[in-house]
C-alpha cells in the first residue's frame, strides 16, 4: 500500500507533534519541581539574551515583514508584526516584570484542622502543559512563554505563520535562559512549521495538552472554541458597556466614558456602548457627546441621542456590536433595571462599568451583572493583567471555570491537598 | 414529509430538554441573587418535608426495587438503590449539614489596591447551571440538589432509570423546600424520563449547562468524559497507593494500610496497591500481610511478598488495577524514588499515601506526587468531602482545572472582579 503525498505529509506532522507533546510532558515534570530562584534566573537570563540579540531579532523580523507585505497583510496586522528597538525593549522589560513576580507554585492557599485530627493544606501546583495559539504578534512568544515558565508549566507555542522568524529569534533567547538556569530547554517549545494542520493537532491533543489559550481575533478564538477537545481559556468578544447612572458625578462620567472608548479602540477592554439614565442624559448628554466627538468618536444613538448634533441613528445591530473602532452605540435607559436588562442581553461577560455616586446602585450593579470584571467609576480599559498587578497576562477569559478575567501566572496553576495525620484512620 | 415514530420521539425529547435547560437558566439567574438565609431556609424546609414524607418515599422506593429485581439488577446495585428509614434519616441529616455550611456566594476571596488608585476585590459567584448524571442511588438526588442550591446554581439531575420513583419522591421534598422559601421551584429539576437519549442531550448542551458532574461507575464516567462538549468534573479511577517508607512507624503503618484497604473496599478512596521499602518489608511485611489477611484481604504480591504464606503471585495487570474489592497488589521498592516512579506510572491522580516519620521524605513525596490528595500517615479513605469539612460532596475530581479532589459547594462557584475607582482612567 502506498501513501499519497498528502497522507505522508500528515503522518509526518502527526509524528512531529506527538514528539513535541511528549517532550513537553517530560519537561513539565522537571519544571514542576524547579525552585523559584531557578525559574527567576531563567527569565532574567532570557531577558539579557534578548537584549543582547536585539539586532538579530530585528533582522529576523525584517524577513517576516517582507514576507507579510508580499502576502498583502493589512496595515493593522503589519503594525502588530513589526518590531523596532523600542518594542524589543518592551519585551525585555516584560520578561523582567514576570521574573520579579512572586512564584505561585507551592503557595499554601488554605490550611485547616479537622475533628478527626487531620490537618489539611491546599497548595498550588502547575497545571502541566499549556498550549498557546496566537496571531502574528511576536511579543506574545515572550509573554506566554514567560508566564508558563513562572507557573511551572511547559509551553507549546504556535504563533501566526507570518511571524515565524521573529518568534524563533525570541524563542532562542527563552531557550538560552532555560539552559543557563539548568532547566530543560524543551520547557518552552515553538512549533517549527507554518502548516496550519498543526493547530488542529493541538486542539485534538486531549491528555497531551492540559489547557489551550487562544490569543487573537474572533475567527481564531471561535475556531479554537468550537474545535478544541482540550479545555480553553478564552474570550470571544469584549462587548463592554459604560452605564452613566442618574447619580453619576459628571466629571467622573466624562473622564470614564472618554477613556473607556478612546484610549485605545482596538482592544477587548474598549467600551462599545454607552447607556445613560434619562436624568444624566438631560444633565450632561450633550457635553458627553461633544467630548467624545472631540476625540473623533462616531456616535450611533437611539432617538434621544439623535436629537444631538452629529449623532447618527443606531441600527439594531449596533447594540451588541464589537466595533473595535472609534464608534460607540448609545442609548437612554429608564434606570438601573433597564440598564441591567440591556447588559444581560447584549453584554459578552467581559467588562461592564457603572458611573455613580450612589453606593446602593453600584452594589446592585456589581451583584447582578454577570461579567468577569465590573468597574465602578473606573475605565473599562483597566481590564488587563498588568493593570490588575499580575505582571503580564496570557489572555482574558470569560468562561466561568478555573480562570475568569485576566489570566496571569497564578491563573495557570492548579492545586493539590496535602493531608497530615498521625496514623489516623477513618472510623 | 412524514416523520418516523423514532424521529418524532427524538424531536419531542429535544423539545422537552430544551425547555428544561431554559427553565434552569432562568432559575439560575434568580438563585444567584438569593440570600444566604433564603437558601438555608429552603434546605431546612426540604429536610423537614422529607422527614415528614418518609413513608411515601419508602413506598416509591419499593416500586423501584420491584422493577429493578424484575430487570435482574445485581445485589450490589440493589443495595445502593434500596432505602429504609435509617437511610432516609441519613439523607435528611445530609440536607441539614449542607444547610448549616457557610454560603460561599459573595465571599470576598481577595482584595488589593493598585498604584493607579483602583481597589480590586475578587468575589465568589455561582457558576450557573450544573448537570448531574448518576446511577440508581436515590440519595444523590438530595446531596447534589442541595449542594447546587447552596452554591446558587440551578441543578439538572439525571438519576439512574431504576431509581426514578425514589428520586421523584425526594425531589418533591426539595421542590417543596424551594417553594416554602420563595425560590423558583425549577432551581432543581429532575429529568422526568427514563429515555437514555436525555443523557446525550445533556452532554451536548454547550452554553446551556455550564458543568456536568457524573457520579457512578467507570462506564458512566468514561461515556461522559468522551462524549461531553460541556466541561466535566470527574474522576475515572481511584488507583490509590499506600507507600510504607523505610522510616515508617510500624503501628501507624499497620493502621493506615488496613484502614485504607478494608474499611470499605468499593469506594474510590480505597487503596489498591501497597508499596514497601525493603527495610520496612523486612521489619514488618509479614505482620502487615497477616493483619490484612485477618480482614479477609487477598494479597497479590511480587516475588518478595510471595515468600509470605497465603500471598498469591501478582499478574502484571494487578498493578494499576482498581479492584474495588478486598484485594490488594503488593510490591517491594528500593526506596522513595522507585515508589514515586511506580505511582507516576500506575496512579490515577486521585489519592496517594506515604507512611513515614521522616519529614524530608514526606515533603518530597508531597511535592513530587501529582495527585489531587496526598496523605501523610493518614488513611486514603479520608478522601471525601464530608471528611474534608465540606458538609457533603457532589463528587471527586482528578482533573486539574477549577475543581480537584472533593467537590463541595465552594468548588461549584466561579468568581468576578469588582473594581472601584474615583473616575479613574488609564493613561
The verdict on a CB contact (< 8 Å) between B401 and A125 is no
- Side-chain-side CA neighbours of residue A304 (13 Å): 20
Over residues A259-276, the pLDDT tens digits come to 999 999 989 999 999 999
Look-up of cell digits 453600584: A362
Does A308 share its domain with A335?
yes
Angle of helix B85-100 relative to helix B54-71, nearest 10 degrees, comes to 120
* List of chain A residues whose C-beta atoms are within 8 Å of the C-beta of residue B426: 259, 263, 379, 381-382, 387
Does B257 share its domain with B214?
no
- Residues B60 and B166 sit within 8 Å (Cβ to Cβ): yes
The verdict on a CB contact (< 8 Å) between B255 and A425 is yes
Give the residue, A392 or B304, on which the prediction is more confident.
B304
Q: What is the pLDDT of residue A1?
A: 46
Does B265 share its domain with B410?
no
* List of chain B residues whose C-beta atoms are within 8 Å of the C-beta of residue A123: 366
Q: What is the pLDDT of residue A216?
A: 87
Does B180 share its domain with B268?
no
Does A201 share its domain with A59?
yes
Does B265 share its domain with B360?
yes
pLDDT at B2 over 60: no
Q: How many CB pairs under 8 A join A and B?
A: 189
> Which residues sit opposite A158 in a β-bridge?
A133
Query: Is B399 a member of any domain?
Result: no
The verdict on a CB contact (< 8 Å) between B114 and A387 is yes
Q: How far is A121 from chain B (nearest CA, A)?
A: 10
Confidence of residue B89 (pLDDT cuts 50, 70, 90): very high
Confidence of residue A3 (pLDDT cuts 50, 70, 90): low
* List of chain B residues whose C-beta atoms are within 8 Å of the C-beta of residue A125: 370, 400
ipTM attached to this prediction: 0.92
- Residues A346 and A240 sit within 8 Å (Cβ to Cβ): no
How many other C-beta atoms can be found within 10 angstroms of the C-beta atom of residue A37? 10
User: Three cell numbers at B315?
Assistant: 499478574
- Residues A108 and A135 sit within 8 Å (Cβ to Cβ): no
Q: How far is A62 from chain B (nearest CA, A)?
A: 31
* List of chain A residues whose C-beta atoms are within 8 Å of the C-beta of residue B401: 127, 210-211, 231, 401-402, 414
Q: What is the pLDDT of residue B93?
A: 94
Does B95 share its domain with B208?
yes
Query: Is A173 a member of any domain?
Result: yes
User: CA nearest B424 in A: which residue?
Assistant: A378
pLDDT at B74 over 90: no
Does A209 share its domain with A355?
no
Q: Please identify among residues 16-45 of chain A the ones whose CB lies closer than 8 Å to any CB of chain B.
A: 29, 32-33
Mean pLDDT, rounded, for B146-161: 96
Say which CATH number the domain at A318 has. 3.40.309.10
User: CA nearest A398 in B: which residue?
Assistant: B416
* List of chain A residues whose C-beta atoms are within 8 Å of the C-beta of residue B402: 401-402
Over residues B194-237, the pLDDT tens digits come to 888 999 999 999 999 999 999 988 899 999 999 998 999 999 89
Say which CATH number the domain at B165 has. 3.40.605.10
The radius of gyration of chain A's CA atoms, rounded to the nearest angstrom, is 24
pLDDT at A234 over 70: yes
* List of chain B residues whose C-beta atoms are within 8 Å of the C-beta of residue A29: 344
The verdict on a CB contact (< 8 Å) between B389 and A414 is no
A366 touches chain B (CB under 8 A): yes
The verdict on a CB contact (< 8 Å) between A404 and B425 is no
Does B122 share its domain with B266?
no
Over residues B252-296, the pLDDT tens digits come to 999 999 999 999 998 999 999 999 999 999 999 999 999 999 999
Cα separation values, B319 from B311, B343, B353, B376, Å: 15, 10, 16, 22
A211 touches chain B (CB under 8 A): yes
How many other C-beta atoms can be found within 10 angstroms of the C-beta atom of residue B137? 21
B400 touches chain A (CB under 8 A): yes
How many other C-beta atoms can be found within 10 angstroms of the C-beta atom of residue A132? 27
Query: Is B425 a member of any domain?
Result: no
Cα separation values, B358 from B282, B352, B370, Å: 18, 17, 20
The verdict on a CB contact (< 8 Å) between A419 and B373 is yes
Mean pLDDT, rounded, for B45-52: 98
Angle of helix A164-180 relative to helix A36-52, nearest 10 degrees, comes to 130
User: CA nearest A379 in B: which residue?
Assistant: B425
Query: Is A55 a member of any domain?
Result: yes
Look-up of cell digits 454607552: A274
Q: How far is A179 from chain B (nearest CA, A)?
A: 22
Mean pLDDT, rounded, for A59-84: 93
Look-up of cell digits 453619576: A248
Domain that holds residue B67: 5-233+406-418
The radius of gyration of chain B's CA atoms, rounded to the nearest angstrom, is 24
Q: How far is A53 from chain B (nearest CA, A)?
A: 31
Distance CA B273, CA B261 (A): 9
Q: What is the pLDDT of residue B77?
A: 87
Query: Is A392 a member of any domain?
Result: no
Does A43 share its domain with A124?
yes
The verdict on a CB contact (< 8 Å) between B388 and A231 is no
Over residues A342-398, the pLDDT tens digits come to 999 999 999 999 999 999 999 999 999 999 999 999 999 999 998 998 888 899 999
Query: Is B423 a member of any domain?
Result: no
DSSP assignment of B347-410, as one string?
--SSEEEEE-S-HHHHHHHHHH--SSEEEEEE-GGG-STTTTTSS--SEEE-SSSS--EEE-TG
E strands of B135-226, at which residues? 154-158, 188-190, 211-215
Over residues B369-411, the pLDDT tens digits come to 999 999 999 999 999 998 998 888 899 999 999 999 999 999 9
A109 touches chain B (CB under 8 A): no
Over residues A299-342, the pLDDT tens digits come to 999 999 999 999 999 999 999 999 999 999 999 999 999 999 99
Q: A131 by DSSP, 3-state: which?
A: strand
The verdict on a CB contact (< 8 Å) between A367 and B114 is no
E strands of B285-399, at which residues? 298-301, 312-313, 327-333, 351-355, 373-378, 395-397
The verdict on a CB contact (< 8 Å) between A416 and B371 is yes
Please enumerate in sequence order all residues whose Cβ is within 8 A of that of B172, keeping only pairs 6 or more positions apart, or say none. Answer: B49, B53
pLDDT at B4 over 80: no
Burial of residue B30, with CB atoms counted within 10 A of its CB: 0-12 exposed, 13-18 middle, 19 or more buried: middle
Q: Which of B112, B370, B426 sits opposite A379 (nearest CB)?
A: B426
Does B27 share its domain with B167?
yes
Least reliable range by pLDDT among A38-47, A53-62, B68-77, B322-331: B68-77
Q: What is the pLDDT of residue B63?
A: 96
How many other C-beta atoms can be found within 10 angstroms of the C-beta atom of residue B173? 27
Q: Please identify among residues 164-183 of chain A the ones whose CB lies closer than 8 Å to any CB of chain B.
A: none
The verdict on a CB contact (< 8 Å) between A249 and B415 is no
- Residues B382 and A115 sit within 8 Å (Cβ to Cβ): no
Query: Is B174 a member of any domain?
Result: yes
Does A105 share its domain with A176?
yes
The total domain count for chain A is 2
Query: Is A396 a member of any domain?
Result: no
Cα separation values, A237 from A217, A315, B221, B259, Å: 9, 19, 33, 52
Cα separation values, B271 from A31, A229, B317, Å: 29, 31, 16
Amino acid at each position: 500500500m502506498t501513501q499519497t503525498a498528502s497522507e505522508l505529509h500528515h503522518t509526518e506532522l502527526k509524528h512531529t507533534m506527538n514528539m513535541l507533546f511528549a517532550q513537553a510532558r517530560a519537561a513539565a515534570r522537571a519544571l514542576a519541581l524547579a525552585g523559584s530562584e531557578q525559574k527567576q534566573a531563567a527569565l532574567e537570563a532570557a531577558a539579557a539574551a534578548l537584549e543582547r540579540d536585539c539586532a538579530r531579532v530585528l533582522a529576523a523580523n525584517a524577513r517576516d515583514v517582507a514576507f507579510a507585505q508580499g502576502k498583502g497583510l493589512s496595515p493593522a496586522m503589519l503594525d502588530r508584526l513589526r518590531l523596532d528597538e523600542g518594542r524589543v525593549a518592551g519585551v525585555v522589560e516584560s520578561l523582567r516584570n514576570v521574573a520579579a513576580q512572586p512564584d505561585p507554585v507551592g503557595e499554601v492557599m488554605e490550611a485547616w484542622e479537622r475533628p478527626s485530627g487531620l490537618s489539611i493544606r491546599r497548595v498550588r501546583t502547575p497545571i502541566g502543559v499549556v498550549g498557546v495559539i496566537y496571531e502574528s504578534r511576536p511579543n506574545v512568544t515572550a509573554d506566554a512563554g514567560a508566564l508558563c515558565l513562572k507557573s511551572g508549566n511547559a509551553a507549546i507555542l504556535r504563533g501566526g505563520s507570518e511571524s515565524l522568524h521573529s518568534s524563533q529569534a525570541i524563542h532562542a533567547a527563552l531557550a538560552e535562559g532555560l539552559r543557563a538556569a539548568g532547566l530543560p530547554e524543551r520547557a518552552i517549545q515553538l512549533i517549527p512549521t507554518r502548516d496550519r494542520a498543526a493547530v488542529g493537532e493541538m486542539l485534538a491533543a486531549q491528555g497531551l495538552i492540559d489547557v489551550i489559550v487562544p490569543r487573537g481575533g474572533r475567527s481564531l478564538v471561535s475556531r479554537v472554541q468550537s474545535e478544541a477537545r482540550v479545555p480553553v481559556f478564552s474570550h470571544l468578544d469584549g462587548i463592554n458597556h459604560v452605564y452613566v447612572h442618574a447619580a453619576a458625578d459628571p466629571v467622573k462620567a466624562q473622564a470614564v466614558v472618554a477613556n473607556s472608548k478612546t484610549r485605545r479602540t482596538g482592544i477587548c477592554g474598549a467600551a462599545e456602548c454607552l447607556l445613560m439614565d434619562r436624568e444624566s442624559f438631560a444633565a450632561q448628554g450633550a457635553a458627553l457627546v461633544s467630548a467624545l466627538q472631540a476625540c473623533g468618536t462616531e456616535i450611533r444613538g437611539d432617538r434621544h441621542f439623535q436629537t444631538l448634533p452629529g449623532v447618527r441613528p443606531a441600527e439594531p445591530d449596533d447594540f451588541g456590536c464589537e466595533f473595535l473602532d472609534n464608534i460607540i452605540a448609545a442609548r437612554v435607559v429608564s434606570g438601573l433595571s433597564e440598564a441591567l436588562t440591556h447588559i444581560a442581553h447584549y453584554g459578552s461577560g467581559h467588562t461592564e462599568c457603572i458611573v455613580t455616586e450612589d453606593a446602593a446602585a453600584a452594589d446592585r450593579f456589581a451583584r447582578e451583572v454577570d461579567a468577569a470584571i465590573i468597574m465602578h467609576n473606573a475605565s473599562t480599559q483597566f481590564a488587563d493583567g498588568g493593570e490588575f498587578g499580575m505582571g503580564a497576562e496570557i489572555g482574558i477569559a470569560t468562561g466561568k471555570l478555573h480562570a475568569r478575567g485576566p489570566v496571569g501566572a497564578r491563573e495557570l496553576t492548579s492545586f493539590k491537598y496535602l493531608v497530615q495525620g498521625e496514623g489516623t484512620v477513618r472510623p
